[in-house]
Amino acid sequence: MGNQLPKGSKSRLKRMPMSFIHHQTSPSHTGIRTVDVDNGFNLTTNSDLCVSIVTWNMNGQVSYDDIAEMVDNKRKFDLLVIGLQEAPCTRKKVATLLKAALDGSHTLIRKVTMKSLHLYLFGPKNAAPFIKELKVDKESVGGYGGIIGRKKGAIAIRINYNGIRMLFISCHLSAHERNVEERNSQWRHISHSLFSKIWNPYARPPHITVWLGDLNYRLQGVDTYPARNLIQKDLHQRLHGKDQLLQEAERGQIFNGFCEGTLTFKPTYKYDKGSSDYDTSYKVRVPAWTDRILFRIEDENNIQATLHSYESMDEIYGSDHKPVKAHLCLRLLQPSSN
């Protein structure tokens, strides 16, 4: 290491999670890099591992039909990561429905829950020999009770699978357009806190970190009816500049160095449950891309990540949010020393 640490900084560094040290100490920021979807990518010959990632705020509701549509196991993938927010309190039912929808094609590797936050990792039946590390953690940033006990915070799974080190973080941040700084602060707190209690200074950082969840960033500076008019005309790309998440990342506040697919799909919140109509309550909320999936590669010389799809699942009607799904295919460029 060419640079000397300032006096007294060693103890602070040790409290930081290994997965975010490089990110948090970077002297400059790059914001979020928008990446295109590669529809022609060959899943079988061009990758070592394909991961299907889903995030969904369930609004306390669950049905087998919605779960089966969300899982969609007709697509080829090795690992399936599902992050749920505002999941119903009967978490055993959710896990049972997920297993039933997969119909034996994949087995549950690990799950972690914190009240209404759930994170599930499924893999092939023969997954065990390929797993070298498997850890979970959780970090609360508040929330409240109610029927479904809505919880704010994050839960995470860290895994080394077939030589590829991955970190999956599913979160639910504070609501409302005005709470931008609160969401930024929660993101930073989660980034510093996850796995900090078991931080190993000799552990290697993950090849890829994936954030998913209801990040709750809204559209800023546009009223609901002009926004809906653009969406109705399939011109919602004109709203990208109003997106708080992209704005705050550009300011260097959050998600430095992360990538995200282009927001080609319509805003995923807020719908009238059971329909594809945006909020018709007296609040007539401004639609927003609250539900997102982002990823960061630690070193692009070591691993290649190709985004095969990034889409909302508009045919699912059981919540006031639409699920968002991404397919990531990973290829090691250099042999991993685990």
Where residue 141 sits, what CATH number does that domain have?
3.60.10.10
Beta strands in 20-179 (DSSP E): 33-35, 49-57, 79-85, 107-114, 117-123, 131-143, 151-161, 164-172
Does residue 204 lie in a domain region?
A: yes
* pLDDT the model gives residue 130: 97
What gap in Å lies between CA 139 and CA 137, rounded to an integer?
7
Does residue 249 lie in a domain region?
A: yes
Which structure tokens are listed for 335?
Answer: 């042999």
Rounded to two decimals, the pTM is 0.90
Q: Which regions of the chain are under pLDDT 50? A: 1-27, 145-148
Does residue 22 lie in a domain region?
A: no
Which structure tokens are listed for 324?
Answer: 């968002």
What gap in Å lies between CA 213 and CA 323, rounded to an integer?
10
Does residue 88 lie in a domain region?
A: yes
Does residue 25 lie in a domain region?
A: no
Q: How many domains does the chain have?
A: 1
Does residue 62 lie in a domain region?
A: yes
Does residue 257 lie in a domain region?
A: yes
* pLDDT the model gives residue 89: 78
Full residue range of the structural domain in which residue 76 is found = 34-39+47-332
* pLDDT the model gives residue 203: 81
* pLDDT the model gives residue 13: 35
**Contact indicator for 143, 155 with CB cutoff of 8 Å:** no
Beta strands in 255-302 (DSSP E): 259-261, 291-297
Instruction: Give tens-digit pLDDT for 79-111.
Output: 999 999 999 977 678 999 999 999 999 999 999
What gap in Å lies between CA 165 and CA 52, rounded to an integer?
16
* pLDDT the model gives residue 260: 98
Does residue 15 lie in a domain region?
A: no
* pLDDT the model gives residue 146: 46
Instruction: Give tens-digit pLDDT for 181-220.
Output: 999 999 999 999 999 887 777 788 999 999 999 999 999 9
Of 266, 284, 280, 270, whose CA–CA distance to 224 is shortest?
A: 284
